[in-house]
Amino acid sequence: MKPDTPGGSPYPPLTVLLCDDNALVLETLGEVVRAQPDLEVVGTARDAEQALRLVRRHQPDLVVLDVRFPGGGHRVAGDIAACSPASRVVAFSAYDDKGSIEQMMRAGVVEYVLKGVSNRELVAALRRAAEPR
């Protein structure tokens, strides 16, 4: 608990892994998350293998995961839960159909965020996901 952490918080920032196969989406997500003093991007992944390697290495607090991620978003979410049970997965999707949402929630996702929401809504969802359950 260092008082000199970013933003003056006595707590270290929440670590975040960003997973999307679209480089532009990753770049934009990274800019949004890095702008927050209580969030720290520890890596970005464009496929399941890379995502799981980074999850094992960093054990991030949060993982933002594209629902249509290569390897299957729901499968990757389940694999993340198996190798890093404390990591909270936030689904990030262009799809708001009931089937996609239910499939991701069954895989252990704690928040489901639609692409195109405001930066404020995305950051709020990340912070909610990190809250104790």
Token output for 75: 């499968």
Q: Which value, in Å, is the radius of gyration of the alpha carbons in the chain?
A: 14
Q: Which token pair is 20?
A: 């999307």
Per DSSP, the chain holds a count of helices (H) and strands (E) of: 5, 5
Q: What is the pLDDT of residues 19-59, one digit of tens each?
A: 999 999 999 999 999 999 999 999 999 999 999 999 999 99
User: What is the pLDDT at residue 8?
Assistant: 59
pLDDT at 2 over 60: no
Q: What is the pLDDT of residue 3?
A: 43
Strand partners, 93: 114
Q: How far apart are CA 45 and CA 53, in angstroms?
A: 9
- This prediction's pTM: 0.91
